[in-house]
Amino acid sequence: MKPIQWRRSKLGRYLRHLPRAKNIRGTWIHRIFGDRLFANELWHPTGQKFAAGMSIGAFFALMPLPVQMIAAALTAFFFKANIPAAIAGTWVSNPFTFPFCVYFQYRLGCFLSGREPMHIKDPDFFSSLSSAPMPFLVGIVPAGLILAAVTYPVTLVLWEWITRSIHAARNRRLAAYEAKKP
């Protein structure tokens, strides 16, 4: 797809407002991170780099940090993974999935520390979690590592499936176009 074509698409309507590399050169961001900030491997998705970025983002999604996306982007930058995928991977934890993530981290922390977990049906569950958060804190990093380890191969499989379906659709369109030619 030519650059002018994606700018005219529905997604391009929003993407064209993002700063380009020529606008970022010489700014404070460029002075801090250098020319490596503009490396294609950090911004253009390939299977391995995209999966690595998603797993980094999934790891930081389970961290109770207010700056999950920034931490994931910086880690992806230093590990040479896809930065947009790392940012998107942090969206695993959202207001709908966060209670399940907290409960999983709490149960994992209880298992690792040898404590008896409270049941979520107890009315004092969330108040006891805030007053004695040790099992939750113990379960944060292992839960993030588990999710990252699961995310990497799943993303690779999905990447292959999507690229195959895109190529198959392109070949079908090409065959239909060739059949219509006189």
**How many CA atoms, within 13 angstroms, populate the side-chain half-sphere of residue 94?**
5
More confident residue, 7 or 76: 76
DSSP assigned state of 27: S
Pick the closest to residue 60 from 146, 161, 144 (CA basis): 144
More confident residue, 103 or 123: 103
- Predicted confidence at residue 136, as pLDDT, reads 79
- 127 — pLDDT class (breaks 50, 70, 90): low
- Predicted confidence at residue 124, as pLDDT, reads 66
Predicted confidence (pLDDT) per residue in 30-75, tens digit:
788 877 777 777 888 888 999 999 999 999 998 888 889 999 999 9
Boundaries of every domain in the chain: 1-34, 39-180
- Predicted confidence at residue 76, as pLDDT, reads 93
**Encoded amino acid at 161, one letter:** W
**Encoded amino acid at 92, one letter:** V
Q: pTM (2 decimals)? A: 0.77
Predicted confidence (pLDDT) per residue in 128-181, tens digit:
666 667 887 888 899 999 999 999 999 999 999 999 998 998 899 888 888 887
110, 116 Cβ separation under 8 angstroms: yes
SS3 of residue 161 by DSSP:
helix
Dihedral sign computed on CA atoms, order 3, 82, 93, 163: positive
53, 85 Cβ separation under 8 angstroms: yes
- Predicted confidence at residue 43, as pLDDT, reads 81
- 2 — pLDDT class (breaks 50, 70, 90): low
- 89 — pLDDT class (breaks 50, 70, 90): very high
- Dihedral, CA of residue 89, residue 60, residue 103 and residue 145, to nearest 10: 100
Minimum mean pLDDT among 1-10, 88-97, 145-154: which range? 1-10
- 19 — pLDDT class (breaks 50, 70, 90): low
Please state the separation of Cα 144 from the chain's center in Å: 12
> Is a pLDDT exceeding 60 seen at residue 1?
no
3-state helix, strand, coil in the chain (%, to 5): 75, 0, 25
Distance (Å, whole) CA 127 – CA 136: 13
